[in-house]
Amino acid sequence: MDNFNISHTAIGDLGARGLSQCVKNIRSLSVEKCEITDVGIEYISQGIHELTTSMEEVKFAKNPINVRSAIAIASCLHNIDNLHVRSCRINDLAAEQLAKGVERRTTKMKMLNLTYNEFGDTGAEFFRAGLRNLVAMRVWKCGITRVEFRRLLAAHRRLEPPRPKIWFGEVEGYEGGDMVLEPE
């Protein structure tokens, strides 16, 4: 099965447990807003961790991700090409765990979508070291200020090309619209 989308279906942790047994047959998984807790995310992540080939895309969007579930996701990031954790209430401690997973990758992750999480400058700081392992990252509305934007910009410039494309959206303290760092 290529795509499995059960978004906006209240499967909860029990459904996530069952789903974890099936991920080996799925290329793209969307469990957006499925009322999954850290326990359910751990189940699914364990299934992904055990894969012998990468999943094209995983969407955990609109399910809360705390430190425990972030550790679980980080442990399987080597098997995910595109991860969407939009609007998951990720704080700086959970961001740190996800960043560690990105940093451990041996190949580039195509997309890391972190939009609408409030981890702020402290959480964004952790992603600097893993930028080399990303093709693209979205951090819109994550509470990043001008100070951390400048630090991410400096880290981005230090990378050998090709650099990742990073969408910031609005940056606190900057006027004039959306901020984007281009790959070249």
**Residue 169 sits in a domain of what CATH number?**
3.80.10.10
- How many angstroms separate the CA atoms of 67 and 53, rounded? 26
Say what the pTM is: 0.95
Q: Which helix (H) or strand (E) holds 85?
A: none
Q: Are 44 and 23 in contact (CB under 8 A)?
A: yes
Containing structural domain, residue 31: 3-181
Digitized pLDDT (tens) for each residue of the chain, 184 residues in all: 799 999 999 999 999 999 999 999 899 999 999 999 999 999 999 999 999 999 999 999 999 999 999 999 999 999 999 999 999 999 999 999 999 999 999 999 999 999 999 999 999 999 999 999 999 999 999 999 989 999 999 999 999 999 999 999 877 777 766 788 888 6
What SS3 class is residue 3? strand
Rounded to 5°, the CA angle 154-160-164 comes to 70
Q: Domain total for the chain?
A: 1
